Chain A
Amino acid sequence: MAQKITIEPVTRVEGHGKVTIHLDDNHQVTESRLHIVEFRGFERFVCGRPFWEAPVLVQRLCGICPVSHHLAAAKAMDMLVGAGDGNGLTPVAEKMRRLMHYGQIFQSHVLHFFHLASPDLLFGIDADPAQRNVIGVIMEHTELAKQAVLMRKYGQEIIAATAGKKIHGTGAVPGGINKNLSLEDRDAFLNGINGNPDLSADKMIKWAEAAIALLLDYHSSHTEFLDGFAAFPSNHLSLVRPDGALDLYHGVIRAVDPEGKRIVNDVDSRDYLEVVEEEVRSWSYMKFPYIKELGPKKGWYRVGPLARLNVCDFIPSPKAQAAFEQFRAYTKGKPNSMSMHYHWARLIETLHAAEVMKELLLDPDLQGTDLVTKGERCGEGIGLLEAPRGTLFHHYQVNEQDLITMCNLIVSTTNNNEPMNRAVNAAAVAQMTGKAEITEPMMNAVEVAIRAYDPCLSCATHAMGQMPLEVTLYDAAGAVLDQQRKGM
């Protein structure tokens, strides 16, 4: 009898997801799907509003990465006001935005690794759920947990200082920025916020290095798990600086295939519609993007930290570059297709963000006073950047009354839709084949695969609320054979 296992919803990811795993008569996994069950309505929410409101409005999308949406919208508005496509801002404006963005990357990556992922790594995915959480981490690794809190706080304070406040920041405006960084703030970030040396730029770099060492130590004793869990070949897409450097704020679109061959060759981000299309599938509200030239079957790709390190040629900061060389050497220079190595890549980016923040803080341009650039107004704006979870596309059209008439957003989680489905399937095949009983470790294995991508389903679907977990086993006729719940 064919069966279907439903895991609903996914925990420790934002928003509402549901996983179904289809078994055949012999309990072999035949197909797995990550369903997104709520409808995305944000693009309509923005229409009819004055374009200059967009950078603030779009932060309503979610509480995890409002800065990414704020900056992507601001980049699109730069085009609208004739300030170029990311390269036309004054030095103080571009560097303030970069500081804001790298602060966001830093705090988001820290949250993901220490809060969401580390319980699985430190205790194992089949550990008791009562221990396998952040309180468990605190009990066993108190100093590590305190470091994570301070790293998060540092990133949040960088955001507050550059964006104006933690939520609904107004730092980026069409064509530039509305304030520079005060010397007082600069000195505090360099030497320690409120005089606390544990909240200094150098301490962030040191702790980011320590986090990589922690992961590599774990990898040495869990190589098979980290290398094999939900691993599969894929294309990889990200922005990259024109010289091939990792650049999370601005760049050209590049993609490589599983062998590292260039399949999208440094396309101007304004031409993203020539590169990417989105497919609709009947069972999910979230679209499935793919590289147009390759079609939906072969053109799907991964985005995010793993993809970015597979696509770029080098990292323009010394400590992260050294870590990157080790990362690339592990796969002998070929793209890394191991889903759990997202965590490794994420920590290398965390170190890079810490280095970039310090470099920017030392740059006197941040105290400049030439904040905004304006040029010839046009009716269309496109802004792309690398958000913590991957490439983020913002596209707007505006009428003569300055009102937004069209908004298209492709968020990171949407870009990763197909690979997340494949990761779920890979985990299901490995963990559930031949088994009819639903167990918590089996459920968590699927979630571990999804968590590697750090999906922000709130961003992709605009769901909200606390989501308990329910697992249901159906037979081919739809009758419930078994049901497990947690958090309900």
Chain B
Amino acid sequence: MSSPSASPKVLVYGFGNPGREDDGAGVALAERIRAAALPGVTTDTNYQLNVEDALLLSEHDLVIFADATHNPVDRFSFYRLQPDASVSFTTHAMSPGSVLALCTQLYGKTPAAYLLEIAGTSFELREGMSAEGTENAEAAGAFLLELLREGSFERVEALYG
């Protein structure tokens, strides 16, 4: 985080496809954060990350990506991201670490960045999340809301950095 003592500009960025059940968990979470209207916190959503998001990242001090995962995590996981310059672009989409690396390379800034991964169980072409995915997204949302309301980003760094 570039300036933890000043009021940091925080971005919560949810990505995924809400038309694929639990794949929309990150988007749902970002919309929940937006509804809370926390001071200093902005949100954005998209199907997937891409090159222009590097510019968006450069305008924030702290970025929290929210995404669904197939990985066997307990409800959700939250961890610090590092720029990923290895760049394994396998589709049009980019990973959060790759966008962070782009931000560093293009704009000389590396905001503190975290990934909030929400465990999903079903990713079929269908609207609406599964019951388990919904529970997991709610748990992740409660966790993040508490963190953001508390506003102690030094503590975030201490716990997860």
Q: A interface vs B, CB < 8 Å?
A: 9, 11-15, 41-42, 45, 57, 59-64, 66, 111, 114-116, 130, 133-136, 138-139, 142, 145-146, 148-150, 152-153, 156, 166-168, 456, 458, 462, 464-469, 487
**Secondary structure at chain B's binding surface: helix, strand, loop or mixed?**
loop
Known: A11-B90, A152-B52. A63 touches B126 (CB 8 A): no
How far, in angstroms, from A138 to B19 measured CA to CA in the complex?
34
CB distance from B81 to the nearest CB of A (A): 16
Report the nearest A residue to B55, measured CB to CB: A149
Known: A167-B46, A464-B123. A135 touches B85 (CB 8 A): yes
Set of chain B residues within 8 Å of A168, measured between Cβ atoms: 18
Does A149 contact B51, Cβ atoms closer than 8 Å? yes
Contact of A149 among B54, B85, B88, B125 (CB under 8 A): B54
Known: A41-B125, A139-B105, A166-B45. A148 touches B51 (CB 8 A): yes
Set of chain A residues within 8 Å of B17, measured between Cβ atoms: 60, 63, 464
How far, in angstroms, from A458 to B91 measured CA to CA in the complex?
10
Set of chain B residues within 8 Å of A465, measured between Cβ atoms: 70
Does A468 contact B52, Cβ atoms closer than 8 Å? no
Since A60-B19, A63-B17, A464-B123 are in contact, a sample of 13 more A-B pairs with Cβ atoms closer than 8 Å, ordered by chain A residue number, is A11-B89, A12-B92, A57-B19, A114-B51, A134-B51, A135-B102, A150-B55, A152-B50, A153-B55, A167-B46, A167-B47, A466-B91, A469-B90
Known: A11-B89, A466-B90, A466-B91. A45 touches B125 (CB 8 A): yes
Set of chain B residues within 8 Å of A116, measured between Cβ atoms: 92
Report the nearest A residue to B70, measured CB to CB: A465
How far, in angstroms, from A200 to B91 measured CA to CA in the complex?
29
Known: A60-B18, A62-B47, A111-B50. A134 touches B55 (CB 8 A): no
Contact of B106 among A61, A66, A138 (CB under 8 A): A138
B:109-161 near A, CB below 8 Å:
123, 125-127
Set of chain B residues within 8 Å of A11, measured between Cβ atoms: 89-91
Known: A60-B17, A63-B17, A146-B106. A467 touches B90 (CB 8 A): yes
Whether, in the assembled complex, B64 has its beta carbon less than 8 Å from a beta carbon of chain A, the answer is no
Does B20 contact A60, Cβ atoms closer than 8 Å? yes
Set of chain B residues within 8 Å of A59, measured between Cβ atoms: 19
Q: Residues 59-79 of chain B: 1 if any A CB is under 8 Å from the residue's CB, otherwise 0?
A: 000000000001000000000
Q: Residues 83-110 of chain B: 1 if any A CB is under 8 Å from the residue's CB, otherwise 0?
A: 0011111111101001001100110000
Query: Most chain-A Cβ atoms within 10 A of its Cβ — which of B95, B101, B123, B125?
Result: B125
How far, in angstroms, from A168 to B58 measured CA to CA in the complex?
26
Pull 14 A–B residue pairs with CB atoms less than 8 Å apart, ordered by A. Answer: A11-B90, A14-B93, A60-B18, A60-B127, A66-B47, A111-B92, A116-B92, A134-B102, A138-B102, A152-B50, A168-B18, A456-B92, A464-B17, A468-B88
Report the nearest A residue to B23, measured CB to CB: A464
Does B92 contact A14, Cβ atoms closer than 8 Å? yes
Query: Most chain-A Cβ atoms within 10 A of its Cβ — which of B20, B70, B90?
Result: B90
Set of chain B residues within 8 Å of A134, measured between Cβ atoms: 51, 87, 89, 102
Report the nearest B residue to A463, measured CB to CB: B91
Set of chain A residues within 8 Å of B20, measured between Cβ atoms: 60, 464
Does A149 contact B52, Cβ atoms closer than 8 Å? yes
Whether, in the assembled complex, B82 has its beta carbon less than 8 Å from a beta carbon of chain A, the answer is no
Whether, in the assembled complex, B42 has its beta carbon less than 8 Å from a beta carbon of chain A, the answer is no
How far, in angstroms, from A462 to B23 measured CA to CA in the complex?
13
Set of chain A residues within 8 Å of B86, measured between Cβ atoms: 130
How far, in angstroms, from A64 to B87 measured CA to CA in the complex?
19
CB distance from A40 to the nearest CB of B (A): 9
Query: Most chain-A Cβ atoms within 10 A of its Cβ — which of B19, B20, B87, B88?
Result: B19
Set of chain A residues within 8 Å of B55, measured between Cβ atoms: 149-150, 153
Known: A60-B17, A60-B19, A66-B47. A142 touches B106 (CB 8 A): yes
How far, in angstroms, from A145 to B104 measured CA to CA in the complex?
13
Report the nearest A residue to B45, measured CB to CB: A167
Report the nearest B residue to A467, measured CB to CB: B90
Does A15 contact B54, Cβ atoms closer than 8 Å? no
